[in-house]
Amino acid sequence: MAAFREAWRLLRVGSTRLPLLRNPNPNPRPLLPFQLVSSRGIAHKLFVGGLSFYTTEDGLSEAFSQCGQVIEATIIMDKATERSKGFGFVTFASEDEAQKALTEMNGKVLNGRVIFVDNAKAKPTYDNARPIARGPPEPNRGN
């Protein structure tokens, strides 16, 4: 936590120690700690599967906080039913803490369910992919 406070102090607008890190906006605002972590790629995200429907984000964060500093804990929710999909993500401040959590928490019981933990993978990008066809094809209009 002290490292984040020091980084926050150094990145504040008006800091004379690191002039290259100032915000170039004409209306400058200091960077928030979570923006610093995600923009520099320092954070390490873990995938957590097998979660109980009763697990909350606070409970997930609390369970993983024994392994290190949890930046964010997110449970993925189904939009239609507003229930948990049974998996989520936990973001740690350092790679060492994330690896410790991966080894210690994988296979543990959380809220009556055995969870499995793995490194999160990046979302696939579909730059030039065509959308999936929906509905019947349009009739030929000239033949």
What's the sign of the alpha-carbon dihedral 21, 25, 27, 33?
A: negative
Residue that wins the pLDDT comparison between 129 and 2: 129
Neighbours of 78 (CB within 10 A): 10
My answer on whether 18 and 2 are in the same domain is yes
Taking residues 1-26, report their average pLDDT.
52
pLDDT at position 1 is: 56
Q: Is residue 63 part of a domain?
A: yes
Number of domains in the chain: 2
Q: Is residue 139 part of a domain?
A: no
Give the domain range for residue 69: 43-121
Residue that wins the pLDDT comparison between 126 and 70: 70
pLDDT at position 17 is: 45
Percent over 90 (pLDDT), the chain: 50
Q: Is residue 128 part of a domain?
A: no
Amino acid at 143: N
Nearest C-alpha neighbor of 108 from the set 26, 50, 55 = 50
Alpha helical stretches, state H, the chain:
2-11, 33-40, 57-64, 95-105
pLDDT at position 140 is: 76
Q: Is residue 25 part of a domain?
A: yes
d(CA 5, CA 2): 5
**Could you read off the pLDDT of 40-98 as tens digits, one per residue?**
455 799 999 999 999 999 999 999 999 999 999 999 999 999 999 999 999 999 999 99
Q: Is residue 14 part of a domain?
A: yes
Write out the E strands in 7-143. 44-49, 70-77, 84-92, 109-110, 113-114, 116-119
Amino acid at 8: W
- Is the backbone of residue 68 left (phi > 0), alpha (psi -120 to 50) or beta? left
My answer on whether 34 and 83 are in the same domain is no
* CATH code of the domain covering residue 84: 3.30.70.330
pLDDT at position 16 is: 45
